[in-house]
Amino acid sequence: MHCGLRGTPSQRGPHLVSLLHVQPLPLFLDKAPCTFAFIFATRARIRISNMAPILLLSVLSVVLFTITVLRLRRAGARPGPAHTLPRGSLGWPVIGETLEFVSAAYSPRPESFMNRRRLLYGKVFKSHLFGSPTIVSTDAEVSRFVLQSDARAFVPSYPKSLSELMGKSSILLINGALQRRVHGLIGGFFKSPHLKSQITADMQSYVRRAMDSWPETSPILIQDETKHILVKGLIGLEPGDEMRFLKREFHEFIAGLMSLPVNLPGTRLYRSLKAKKRMVMLLKKVIEDKRRKRSSGLVGETPKDVIDVLISDTSEELTDELISDNMIDLMIPAEDSVPVLITLAVKYLSSCPLALRQLEEENIELKERKCRLGQDSLQWNDYMSLSFTQDVITETLRLGNIIGGIMRKAVRDVEVKGHLIPNGWCVFTYFRSVHLDEAMYDEPHRFNPWRWKEKDMSSCSFTPFGGGQRLCPGLDLARLEASIFLHHLVTSFTWVADDDQVVNFPTVRMKSGMPVRVTRKKVAFDRLSSARVVS
């Protein structure tokens, strides 16, 4: 594979990328809200069959087309002799192919937009999405190259409303040394053996407490029940008023991530920004309390949660503002991506009894073994060593495509595998097409956890957590949390799932939150007699 930056040395090193825990819906609207509204209004008027609007539309189209062409030229759309712009279509002036993309994204097969173009143009093609000329990559090698390149080649590209809500010091938006530092601190926290054991114990007790209160008489919503499990490990808050306040404000905040980028009183974005302000105030208070206790020696130096890790960094770059912004960033995957992962696993298992039985056997076997040893709680490694459970999670990540792809913007002309990605263009590394490619996975739409017995998870055709220096630092934590939930679910309950549907856009989720009716198992684990007792 020939990969390199145009006019510079090749950049293959382990370099950076950035995440989309949400997908880039309103970017187009950010850039041209008025034009968007205008085009629809104009089309409606044509149906009234009046020549004046038709003329107006024609003139407008020519103007828009010219603007687009000029923008593309400015963006460096002309390929140099050795590098060719991938084939494809830029679609309509300004709106490009956004409408086709979005309409496919709302369907059960969002990848159909890509599949049609793959057949016509190949795995890498050009398009115009969300207001930007875009190279779409459904080629695993090209996507890996993009994700491994650093900010000298590509920077994260997010919708304006999302960037505004995240704040400029969010890890999702910062680049270079500061991003590496924050990434390293967060990743390091989730790797420390002491913290791994504490976070496992915290999550375990939260899950048990929650499950103890599940009613058998009415359905529970798995998508809701899987939230809040991680908050203590991130922020250190115990259940109580502050935790309730944070959950409420977070709910208000997250609703704005997919909103129109209009920040006026009463708009969605405005309300979300206000909610974020209130969350930041609470987090700053938590940070101040922690700093005070540390300096007065009331607590030890050993960090107990992610805030502790970030405040113990000695560099002055990690201000309270930056720490609060990043704590809110971490709450998004914790409160959204991981719950969706668990919910999808429950959905897939509900319709695959064979996998459910094997999962149950593996988990009951572990629980019995631990009971015989007199151990009530499991450790991080116990969960992670459940090989079939891990395969179920891996397969859920492949099939569910919680993060369908990642958007970057080229900050210079980049050439990869013979394709030119011009300066100023976006590049959309679309994992979903790779994860559902039958050349890579037999019967790709079938939930088949057994495929992972043989398959290599570390190949570039499996990237649910991205790659490069922005590889998700919470990937093990996500697996751990899913394992803890599934372990307690299958060892304590049987369930019947109501009908529900996966929605893929703007974020992946279950339409009705995945209602299930649970029944407690009549099996108890008697620690003293080391035997399984039917009560």
Other beta carbons within 10 angstroms of residue 250's beta carbon come to 22
Q: Report, in Å, the least distance between residue 103 CB and ligand HEM.
A: 24
Report the distance separating Cα 309 and Cα 297, nearest Å: 17
Contact criterion met (CB below 8 Å) for 214 and 243: no
- Select 336 or 382, whichever has its Cβ closest to ligand HEM: 336
Other beta carbons within 10 angstroms of residue 45's beta carbon come to 15
- Count the alpha carbons within 13 Å of 499 in the hemisphere toward its beta carbon: 0
Site string for ligand HEM, 418-457 (x = CB under 6 A): ----------------------------------------
By CB under 6 A, residue 399 contacts ligand HEM: no
Q: Report, in Å, the least distance between residue 182 CB and ligand HEM.
A: 7
Tell me the residue type at 375.
Q
The phi and psi torsions of 134 (rounded to 5 degrees) equal -140, 135
Report the distance separating Cα 219 and Cα 216, nearest Å: 7
Q: For the purposes of burial, counting CB atoms within 10 Å of the CB of 311, is it exposed (0-12), middle (13-18) or buried (19 or more)?
A: middle
Residue with tokens 């090698």: 141
Q: CA 312, 318, 321, 324 torsion: positive or negative?
A: negative
Site string for ligand HEM, 148-167 (x = CB under 6 A): --------x-----------
- Select 405 or 515, whichever has its Cβ closest to ligand HEM: 405
Contact criterion met (CB below 8 Å) for 44 and 57: no
Q: CA 110, 115, 120, 125 torsion: positive or negative?
A: positive
Contacting residue, 96, 474, 513, 515, with ligand HEM by CB under 6 A: 474
Q: Report, in Å, the least distance between residue 39 CB and ligand HEM.
A: 31
472 carries a ligand binding annotation: yes
Q: Which of residues 17-76 bind ligand HEM (CB under 6 A)?
A: 17-19
* 193-201, 337-345, 357-365, 523-531 -> range binding ligand HEM (CB under 6 A): 337-345
Contacting residue, 464, 484, 486, 508, with ligand HEM by CB under 6 A: 464
Residues belonging to the chain? 535
Q: CA 81, 85, 87, 89 torsion: positive or negative?
A: negative
By CB under 6 A, residue 341 contacts ligand HEM: yes
- Select 151 or 355, whichever has its Cβ closest to ligand HEM: 151
The residue among 204, 182, 203, 196 whose CA lies nearest residue 304 is 196
By CB under 6 A, residue 172 contacts ligand HEM: yes
By CB under 6 A, residue 466 contacts ligand HEM: yes
Contacting residue, 29, 153, 171, 514, with ligand HEM by CB under 6 A: 171
Cα-to-chain-centroid distance, residue 286: 26
* 60-68, 327-335, 410-418, 449-457 -> range binding ligand HEM (CB under 6 A): 327-335
Contacting residue, 117, 128, 144, 183, with ligand HEM by CB under 6 A: 183
Contacting residue, 144, 276, 398, 470, with ligand HEM by CB under 6 A: 470
Contact criterion met (CB below 8 Å) for 458 and 467: no
Number of residues that bind ligand HEM (CB under 6 A): 29
Quote the crossing angle between the two packed helices 112-121 and 98-106, to the nearest 10°: 130
Residue 468 per-residue DSSP state:
G
By CB under 6 A, residue 173 contacts ligand HEM: no
Q: Report, in Å, the least distance between residue 339 CB and ligand HEM.
A: 9
* 42-50, 178-186, 209-217, 374-382 -> range binding ligand HEM (CB under 6 A): 178-186
* 7-15, 16-24, 121-129, 251-259 -> range binding ligand HEM (CB under 6 A): 16-24
Contacting residue, 403, 420, 486, 516, with ligand HEM by CB under 6 A: 403
| Partners of residue 155 on adjacent β-strands | 409
Contact criterion met (CB below 8 Å) for 462 and 398: yes
* Residues forming the site for ligand HEM (CB under 6 A): 17-19, 147, 156, 171-172, 179, 183, 186, 329-330, 333-334, 337-338, 341, 402-403, 406, 464-466, 470, 472-474, 477-478
Q: Which residue ranges make up the annotated binding site for heme? A: 472
